[in-house]
Structure 1
Amino acid sequence: MYRAIGTVKSRAFRVLWMLEELGQDYDLIAAAPRSDEARKYNPLGKIPALVDGDGVLTDSVAIMTYLADKHGALTAPAGTPARTQQDAMTLWLIDEMDALLWTAAKHSFALPEAMRVPDIIPALHKEFARNAEGLTKRLGDQEFLMGDAISVPDLLAVHCLGWSFGAGFPALPDPLKAYSKRLRARPAFRAAAAR
């Protein structure tokens, strides 16, 4: 059985949702960032971590990719053009959405107050809104980002879209709202959120 380390209201949620989508049993070990519990699994105290047997895995996207490959689900096969396109979408989401959200979080509460630059936040909002329009175009009329099946980029995107709402970023384009709402209604998403 897997052991997931983190909290539901963090990037660990992506891993929990992935485990639920895969139908895998797991225990959630509650650990806040930089806590003693988190440092047992990652010397930097970052969450999430995932324990699989003797292995300890870190970074939410790396963990999701590992789980997708291990279980042969929610991913295109490694070494295929479809996987390269999926990986490109995943990396785009990390660069153009997740990074902006995390930078805003750092300058809102995560950094020591003397290091925060709150004046950067409006620029991050504007950039995120531009990227949300780009994601809307990439989604087009597909049900999922990579076509007709849910995959790693969908979990990452929906988590980022929810994070943006909670962080007071500009409203999302209607197609992204509908996409996010549809995926958040999935039983696996609800099961992970209920943890």
Structure 2
Amino acid sequence: MYTLIGGPQNRTFRVVWMLEELGLPYQRQYAKPHEPQVTEHSPLGKLPVLVTEDGTALTDSVAILTWLADSTGRMTARAGSLERARQDGLTQQIVDDIEGLLWMSTRHSFVLPEDQRVPAIKDSLRWEFARNCDRLAERMVGPFIMGEEMTVPDILATHCLDWAHAAKFEVSSETLLAYHARMRAREAYSSAVASEKSLAAPATA
């Protein structure tokens, strides 16, 4: 039984979905960034945190997804293979060129102190985001990003497309729009969404 620490509507969703896809047992513990139960495991106070069966705490959503895939031998190419190198390249492309822009926009929306925000930067971020989505679509070679099988980059890409929709970042690529719809129709995705909706903040006095 894994313990997943984090709240809804953030990168924790990626790990919930991965656990559902793999059919692994887990329990959830509600927490916001920088709360004690988070900083106990993550000095940076970031979500999510996955506590394994032996009590080892793992941080960073991409690292957690990669470990879950490697430890089960599913949803990933074999470590050390050329296909894995290609997979890791796609993972980094999504994190750097797509997620990075969304996170920058979020920071300038409400994360940074108000006097440090530059709202005008969002127009440039939206332009670059649309261009980078087209570049990702060009690399797709099948129903999933890597081809015929779902892998770690699919979790990341779909979550970023969800994020983009919420942030009003337009995706014009018909390839990515159709892909997004297919991924959201997956049973494990629906289960992860249900898990998010059922996770309530603890009552406070």
Q: Name the TM-score, length of structure 2 as normaliser.
A: 0.92
Q: How does 1:122-141 map to 2 (within 5 A)?
A: 122-140=123-141
Q: Secondary structure at the match of 2:24?
A: coil
State the AA in 2 paired with 1:82. Answer: E
**Equivalence for 2:150:** 150
Q: How does 1:49-60 map to 2 (within 5 A)?
A: 49-52=49-52, 53-60=54-61
Give the Cα separation in 2 of the matches to 1:36 and 1:113: 25
Q: How does 1:21-36 map to 2 (within 5 A)?
A: 21-36=21-36
State the AA in 1 paired with 2:33. Answer: P
State the AA in 2 paired with 1:47. Answer: L
> Gapped runs of 5+ residues in structure 1?
none
> Gapped runs of 5+ residues in structure 2?
196-205
State the AA in 1 paired with 2:159. Answer: H
Q: Determine if the alignment matches structure 1 residue 41 to structure 2 residue 41.
A: yes
**Equivalence for 1:108:** 109
Of 79-88 and 3-12, the range deviating more from structure 2? 3-12
CA contact (8 A) 2:102 2:164 kept: yes
Q: How does 1:92-103 map to 2 (within 5 A)?
A: 92-103=93-104
**Equivalence for 2:174:** 174
User: Once the two structures are superposed, what CA deviation does each residue of 1:31-59 show, in whole Å capped at 9, x if it has no partner?
Assistant: 11222332232122110010012210000
Tell me by how many angstroms 1:28 deviates: 1.0
Tell me by how many angstroms 1:156 deviates: 0.4
Tell me by how many angstroms 1:143 deviates: 0.4
Identity of aligned residues (%): 47
Tell me by how many angstroms 1:146 deviates: 0.5
Give the Cα separation in 2 of the matches to 1:3 and 1:124: 35
Give the Cα separation in 2 of the matches to 1:41 and 1:30: 14
Q: Secondary structure at the match of 2:57?
A: strand
CA RMSD in angstroms, aligned pairs only: 1.0
Tell me by how many angstroms 1:85 deviates: 0.3
Q: Name the TM-score, length of structure 1 as normaliser.
A: 0.96
Q: Secondary structure at the match of 1:73?
A: coil
Tell me by how many angstroms 1:171 deviates: 3.3
Q: Determine if the alignment matches structure 1 residue 185 to structure 2 residue 185.
A: yes
Give the Cα separation in 1 of the matches to 2:39 and 2:176: 36
